[in-house]
Amino acid sequence: MSALFEPVFTGSFTAAQYLLCTAAALVLGLAVALTARCQGPCTRSLLLALLLLPTVVQTVIMLVNGSIGTGLAVAGAFSLIRFRSAPGTAREILLVFLSMAVGLATAVGYVGIAVLFTVIVCLVMLLASRVRLPEEQTLCRDLRITVPESLNYAHAFDDLFETYTSSHSLLNARTSNMGSLYKLHYRVFLKNSDQEQAFLDALRCRNGNLEISLGIAEDEREAL
């Protein structure tokens, strides 16, 4: 059992040791990619990155191991890279860091720890994806209402909020259409998700059938 926590090499490494670490990094990267795929839809580019990132990180770390000059050169080269992509979700960022951690572990020869670490984290992520969130969190919504300037919105919807929501707060209010309209942004917690349509119908009657949107709160979209 203690051999599991021993590095497969110390100091310099041979070709066979490099191939062993690379094979371990590829297998564990595949495990991370499969975990990501089981949790939900993933782009092809993300899956490919999760598969190969451990191997890339492992090779770079093994090459700069013990060389301060080479390490600084590699750090300078990576600092020139500019990533232009859509913001990632918390799950995607976690998976990328997991792949990097696997690469670092295999780079210093701790293949056993890398395997154990990957298995534990992937199992926890799979179990967490099966756990249902508390009902209160799933009923959190962002409500955006457009009202005419003639409507005093301060207490215009209080009775509707009391009927259909357990709590509400006004996050933002701004003018539109040369000041003839107000756009209101509320954070609400619905009492029952089955009453969403009735809630929207009641709001339409109150705001003169102007634009209304009710969607999942931005904080609940897995953003990090």
- Residue 139, domain CATH: 3.30.70.240
Q: What is the pLDDT of residue 125?
A: 83
- Residue 14 CA, distance from chain mean position: 38
Confirm whether 224 is domain-assigned: no
For residue 196, the enclosing domain spans 135-217
Long-range contacts of the stretch 44-50 (C-beta < 8 A, 24+): 46/92, 46/95, 49/96, 49/99, 50/95, 50/96, 50/99
Same domain for 112 and 93? Answer: yes
**In the chain, which residue ranges form alpha helices assigned H by DSSP?**
15-39, 44-64, 68-79, 90-107, 111-130, 135-138, 158-164, 196-206
Report the distance separating Cα 113 and Cα 12, nearest Å. Answer: 20
Strand ranges of the sheet holding 140-148, from the earlier edge strand across to the other edge = 165-176, 181-190, 140-148, 212-216
Is the residue at 139 inside a domain?
A: yes
Asked if 16 and 60 sit in the same domain, the reply is yes
Is residue 55 included in any domain, yes or no? yes
In this structure, which amino acid lies at residue 136?
E
Domain count of the chain?
A: 2
Examine residue 149 and state whether it is found in any structural domain, yes or no: yes
Q: How far apart are CA 133 and CA 126, in angstroms?
A: 14
Residues 100, 50, single domain; the answer is yes
d(CA 108, CA 63): 11
List the chain pLDDT tens, one digit each, 224 residues: 566 667 777 767 788 888 888 899 999 999 999 988 887 777 788 888 888 888 888 887 877 776 666 666 666 656 655 554 555 666 777 888 888 888 888 887 888 888 888 888 888 888 877 776 554 456 888 999 999 998 988 889 999 999 999 889 999 999 988 888 999 999 999 988 888 999 999 999 999 899 999 988 765 444 44
- Please check whether residue 98 is in contact with residue 121, taking contact to mean a CB–CB distance below 8 angstroms: yes
What token pair was written down for 51?
A: 């598969």
